[in-house]
Amino acid sequence: MKYLVNGTLSPGKSREALLAEMAGRTLSDEAWEFVRKGVITEHGYKIGARPGFVLVMEGDSEDAVRSTLARIPLLRDGWFKIEIDPFSPFLP
C-alpha cells in the first residue's frame, strides 16, 4: 500500500538549526537506502512557510511505515512532526 508522509519541523526547531544539523546533506544514508530499495518512491522538501518534507512510501501498514521512518536519524531524533495517510489512485 502507498502512504503519504508529511513531515513538518517540530515546534522549537528552526530551519537554520535543521540546515546546520544536515551540514549540506540532502538525505541520510538510511533514507537513501530506502530509496534504493523502493520503499521511498518519491521525496521532496517543503519550501513554503512550514518547513519540512513529503515522502511517498510503500508499506504493509501505517505501523510498518512508522517503524521504517524511526530508522532515519532526523526523524528518530524528533526534528519533525509526522503525519501518515494511506492513499490509492483515483481509478483502480
**Domain hosting residue 48, numbered range:** 2-87
Domains in the chain, number: 1
Is 63 part of a structural domain of the chain? yes
Count of C-beta atoms within a 10 Å radius of residue 40: 21
57-67: pLDDT as tens digits: 999 999 999 99
The per-residue pLDDT for 47 is 86
* 92 is a domain residue: no
Note the pTM of the prediction, 2 decimals: 0.87
What's the CATH code of the domain at 52? 3.30.70.1060
pLDDT at position 92: 67
Query: What pLDDT does 22 receive?
Result: 82
Q: What is the pLDDT of residues 17-41, one digit of tens each?
A: 988 888 877 778 899 999 999 999 9
Separation between Cα atoms, residue 28 and residue 30, nearest integer Å: 5
